[in-house]
Structure 1
Amino acid sequence: MDDAERAREYSPSSKAPDFLHTLSDYRARSLSAARDLVAPTILRYGPDAAQRILLFEPPGHAADVLVAYFHGGYWQELSADDSLFPAPAFLGRRIAYAAVGYTLAPRATLPGIVEQAADAIAALRRFTTAPRMAAARIAAPRIVIAGSSAGAHLAAMLLTLDWRTRVPGVSPFDGAILLSGIYDLRPLVGTYINDALRLDERDAFALSPQYLPIHTRVPVTVCWGEHDTNEFRRQSRNLVGRLARVGMLYAAGEMAARNHFDLVFDLGVAGSPLDRRIAPLLGRGGL
């Protein structure tokens, strides 16, 4: 495809004309969640103001599962504060929810953002296995990482890291949910998306989880929207094929009537088509 077509295919808004309204809805629903829920525990895992985790736990109950969510925005937009809207649905099911923030490009490089994502999950795992939890005889929850778009890329990259020195002796996480992600970054080189990232072909390949060795073998669910672009749909299907070959694919599917931006509204919502794909992954018998 030519450069113009490639830029269009990697612009999810080309298939979602109301995307600005959806992005505003992220913030509006997140503000509503923040008003209605008990204030989250704030875990700071680095020096930058964006390096924080907003952790919501079900009141009065120790959660068996914790979903840690990385937002999208091509590593350049949005924040943890825009990512609180799934919390009420999860808490209603006694599942803890963490919105993970990270420094955006161009202030941070993409390799640096991947490192921040790893640091965040390591901090979350340490927090959930802290001595205070053991003293109260509270079992550490199973952590399921999740992400949408660029956040799905970050979650997929975490599968490729060697965690032995980050969280020695324990599994960093126990499953992954990847929504409308990008897993081969090479097509971004030469597009406007790369202006803030400044990746060359070698950098892009080194940051493409589609091709990297997998070090953390956990069940993975991959979903995408019917109204994602052809390239985003292709990338998800390619990752599904790879995960199936190595025995890590838990579930996969295209979600009818959903686009790149609004698919995440179904995250945690009981009975939604997306939930039917991920609910067993979150249940006691799912992992």
Structure 2
Amino acid sequence: MGNDPSPDVMTRTAPPPDHTSHYGPHADQVVDLRLPPDRPADTLVVLVHGGFWKARYDRAHTGPLADALARAGYAVAVPEYRRVGSVGGGWPGTFDDLSVFFEALGTITTAHGLRAKRTILVGHSAGGHLALWAAARHRLPAGSPWRTQWRPDAVVSLAGCASLALTDVWSLGGQAASALLGGGVDDVPERYALADPGALLPLGVPVTLLHGTEDADVPVAMSREYAGLAEQAGDPVRLVELPGMEHFGLIDPLSAAWPHLLDALGSS
């Protein structure tokens, strides 16, 4: 994923989730749930992890952030999904998994007594891409198996790969977009048209983009480009640039990014 995080958010331990539920038969088709310790939650945060869609990065590194969000009063769902390098990951399995997960989410949360009034998607890095894409599925063609009329109440992208096309053109993550979709944007443009949130505007959903100016893994220019396109499409979008912040600080509740994330969730 590029530069080593500082401090140790990628390896820092966190308390285990309150529940882990399956949304499919594969070992990666699971979701961790965390609930606020002392009060019911009005808002469900779906936290989608990053790792350039690669199998060697799983949801475990989001534990500190998910735990902090739960302690801040949010119900938190952290889905796992098949990734490049695992059986069935990449195109189309990764997108199949996210779609099936969101279809099952209501049943899973209700089974654990959660009846949140609002749902906000939060995604980091490649998870930012998936969160934006999940919110854009109502823009997919009528024949797509991933199409739905469901929309979240808001999306918060943390140093997100908001444009798959730029992820490919800029060769981010060692040609990660090409590995995800089975080719570059010039090789399989029809796949990028279905999988790239930048190609599915307008979302019609409020979006906040948090991005560090010193991000060497996903340059802040990515969020700047997406924000410009979203504004042209008439979407409500807000870009918050964090001076001196690198890539992993966005998921560290001990970093200067944490109050900005809380503000984004509270104002969404």
Pairwise same-fold verdict (TM > 0.5): yes
Partner of 1:70: 48
Q: Residue 230 of structure 1: CA displacement?
A: 9.3
Which of 231, 234, 244 lines up with 1:257 in the alignment? 244
Which of 103, 117, 121 lines up with 1:145 in the alignment? 121
Distance 2:217 2:226 in 1: 14
Q: Residue 270 of structure 1: CA displacement?
A: 9.4
Secondary structure at 2:82 match in 1: coil
Residues 219/157 of structure 1: CA separation in 2 closer, same or farther (3 Å cut) = same
Q: Residue 157 of structure 1: CA displacement?
A: 0.8
Q: Residue 44 of structure 1: CA displacement?
A: 0.8
Which of 105, 108, 125 lines up with 1:124 in the alignment? 105
Partner of 1:227: 214
Secondary structure at 2:11 match in 1: helix
Partner of 2:71: 92
The reply on whether 1:105 has 2:84 as its aligned counterpart is: yes
Q: Structure 1 stretches of 5 or more lacking a match?
A: 1-11, 282-287
The reply on whether 1:179 has 2:155 as its aligned counterpart is: no
Partner of 2:29: 51
The reply on whether 1:157 has 2:133 as its aligned counterpart is: yes
Indicate the structure (1 or 2) with the bigger Cα radius of gyration: 1
Secondary structure at 1:232 match in 2: coil
Q: Residue 277 of structure 1: CA displacement?
A: 3.6
Q: Residue 228 of structure 1: CA displacement?
A: 1.6
Secondary structure at 2:155 match in 1: strand
Residues 88/206 of structure 1: CA separation in 2 closer, same or farther (3 Å cut) = closer
Q: Residue 221 of structure 1: CA displacement?
A: 0.7
Contact 1:157 1:209 in 2 (8 A): yes
Range with bigger deviation, 64-73 or 200-209: 200-209
Contact 1:178 1:220 in 2 (8 A): yes
More helix per residue: 1
Contact 2:138 2:151 in 1 (8 A): no
Partner of 1:6: none
Partner of 1:243: 230
Distance 1:171 1:186 in 2: 25
Residues 113/268 of structure 1: CA separation in 2 closer, same or farther (3 Å cut) = farther
Contact 2:122 2:128 in 1 (8 A): yes
Partner of 1:26: 10
Q: Residue 205 of structure 1: CA displacement?
A: 4.5
Give TM-score, length-normalised by structure 1. 0.75
The reply on whether 1:208 has 2:196 as its aligned counterpart is: yes
Count of residues in Structure 1 that have an aligned counterpart in Structure 2: 252
Distance 2:256 2:117 in 1: 20
Give TM-score, length-normalised by structure 2. 0.79
Q: Residue 268 of structure 1: CA displacement?
A: 10
Distance 2:128 2:35 in 1: 23
Distance 1:224 1:190 in 2: 17
Contact 1:220 1:251 in 2 (8 A): yes
Q: Residue 278 of structure 1: CA displacement?
A: 3.6
Secondary structure at 2:161 match in 1: coil
Q: Percent of aligned positions with the same letter in both sequences?
A: 25
Q: Residue 190 of structure 1: CA displacement?
A: 9.3
